[in-house]
């Protein structure tokens, strides 16, 4: 970018910084300013202006990595993207106004200066947006992995009895996992009874029911019996209204009852032992 602009920024750094901080605070509602403490706000703003100045002194790579570092820190501080993007714009406006006042911009050079400055501003903006987006994407993909790990656990509770507790919404992706884990686990643990607990499933619509029916059918094919537990009264009513046929299922309203029945089916029961105390 034009050397003159940078020299101008460097010379008027402090006053522009103060003006920028004042405008930004006035323009933004308390929401943002409250999130950011004064001290952090001031030091980060100063760093930002320093960063811009470093642009002339340092090489392009150096600037790029410093900008990246800066943007990452701003993301960590939780500054909203709109706030940062708007701040950059405000900075540009202040620089131009100041340069105009000082007579550094003339009719002859204004187009050239404007174009160069705008190009630099846009590049910085794109960079910051890119880093924000990358951070979000990373968070989303990590959460996706975390969610997948939680999505369909199969727990062997007794010999030949396994439980799959389902919590939360079931979508197509998850339904696929439920089916896979159920079959893999049933074979691996040599299950005779597999209990699916839907206490934590908020809505059982025809798709969810369809997936559960299919899973149960598949479990039957590998030689185990599938039982559905945790049907809340309101879910029972909606299933009846929807006209979903679950007659080939054994269903229980709690997991406890389901496990008792499963023990019965495998010819066992839980007994109290005589205490010695």
Partner 1 sequence: MSIQSCVTIINEWDIVAARQLGRNVAKELGFGTVDQARITTAISELARNIYLYAGKGQICIDKLYEGGKPGVRINAIDNGPGISDIRQVMEDGYSTSGGLGAGLPGVKRLMDQFVIESNPEEGTQITATKWLR
Site membership for partner 1, residue 37 (CB under 8 A):
no
Nearer CB in complex with partner 1: 160/174: 174
Query: Within positions 209 to 228, which residues make up the interface with partner 1, using CB under 8 A?
Result: 209-210, 213
Q: How far apart are CA 245 and CA 242, in angstroms?
A: 9
Taking the complex as a whole, how short is the minimal distance between the CB of residue 218 and partner 1, in angstroms? 15
Give the binding range for partner 1 (CB under 8 A) out of 32-40, 71-79, 111-119, 207-215.
207-215
Angle at 253 between CA 250 and CA 254, to 5 degrees: 110
- Max distance between CA atoms of the chain, in angstroms, equals 102
* Residue pair 229/260 in contact by the 8 Å Cβ criterion: no
Question: Alpha-carbon distance 158 to 268, whole Å?
Answer: 10
106 binds partner 1 (CB under 8 A): no
Give me the least distance between CB of 204 and partner 1, in Å please: 7
Residue 39 or 172 with smaller CB distance to partner 1: 172
The token pair at 176 is 């696929």
The conformation of residue 272, written as its DSSP 8-state character, comes to: P
What's the rounded Cα separation, in Å, for the pair 65 and 74? 14
β-pairing verdict for 225-229 and 250-251: parallel
Strand partners, 196: 164, 228
CB atoms within 10 A of CB 20: 20
Interface with partner 1, residue 137, by CB under 8 A: no
CB of 175 to partner 1, least distance (A): 11
Distance CA 123, CA 112 (A): 17
Q: What is the CA radius of gyration of the chain?
A: 32
Which segment (31-39, 95-103, 206-214, 268-276) binds partner 1 by CB under 8 A? 206-214
Cβ proximity to partner 1: between 201 and 227 the closer is 201
According to the binding rule CB under 8 A, does residue 65 interact with partner 1?
no
User: Is 234 an interacting residue with respect to partner 1 (CB under 8 A)?
Assistant: yes
Q: Of 200, 150, 156, which is closest to residue 178 (Cα–Cα)? A: 150
Nearest CB to partner 1, comparing residues 171 and 264: 171
Q: Is 247 in the site for partner 1 (CB under 8 A)?
A: no
Compute the least distance from the CB of residue 248 to partner 1, in Å.
14
Asked if residue 241 binds partner 1 (CB under 8 A), the reply is yes
Taking residue 91's Cβ as centre, other Cβ atoms within 10 Å add up to 23
Binding flag, residue 143, partner 1 (CB under 8 A): no
| Residue 198 in contact with partner 1, rule: CB under 8 A | no
Decide: is 248 part of the binding site for partner 1 (CB under 8 A). no
Q: Does 172 bind partner 1 (CB under 8 A)?
A: yes
* Chain positions contacting partner 1, by CB under 8 A: 169, 171-172, 202-207, 209-210, 213, 233-235, 237-238, 241-244
């Amino acid at each position: 970018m034009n050397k003159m602009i940078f020299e101008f920024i460097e010379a008027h750094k402090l006053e522009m910084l103060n003006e920028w901080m004042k405008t930004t605070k006035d323009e933004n509602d308390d929401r943002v300013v409250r999130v950011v403490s004064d001290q952090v706000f001031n030091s980060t703003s100063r760093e930002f202006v320093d960063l811009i100045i470093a642009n002339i002194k340092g090489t392009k790579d150096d600037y790029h990595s410093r900008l990246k570092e800066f943007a990452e820190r701003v993301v960590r501080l939780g500054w909203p993207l709109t706030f940062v993007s708007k701040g950059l714009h405000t900075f540009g406006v202040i620089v131009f106004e100041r340069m105009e006042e000082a007579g550094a911009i003339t009719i002859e050079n204004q187009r050239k200066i404007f174009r160069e400055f705008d190009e630099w501003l846009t590049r910085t903006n794109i960079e910051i947006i890119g880093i924000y987006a990358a951070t979000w994407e990373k968070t989303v993909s990590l959460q996706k992995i975390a969610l997948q790990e939680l999505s369909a656990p199969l727990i062997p509770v007794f010999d030949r009895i396994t439980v799959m507790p389902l919590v939360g919404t079931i979508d197509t992706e998850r339904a696929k996992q439920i089916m896979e884990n159920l079959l893999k686990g049933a074979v691996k643990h040599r299950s005779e009874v597999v209990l699916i607990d839907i206490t934590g499933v908020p809505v059982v619509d025809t798709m969810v029911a369809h997936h559960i029916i299919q899973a149960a059918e598949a479990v039957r094919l590998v030689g185990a019996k599938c039982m559905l537990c945790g049907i809340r009264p309101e879910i029972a009513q909606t299933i009846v209204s929807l006209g979903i046929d679950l007659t080939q299922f054994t269903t229980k309203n709690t997991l406890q009852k389901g496990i008792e029945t499963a023990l019965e089916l495998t010819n066992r029961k839980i007994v109290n032992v005589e205490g010695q105390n």
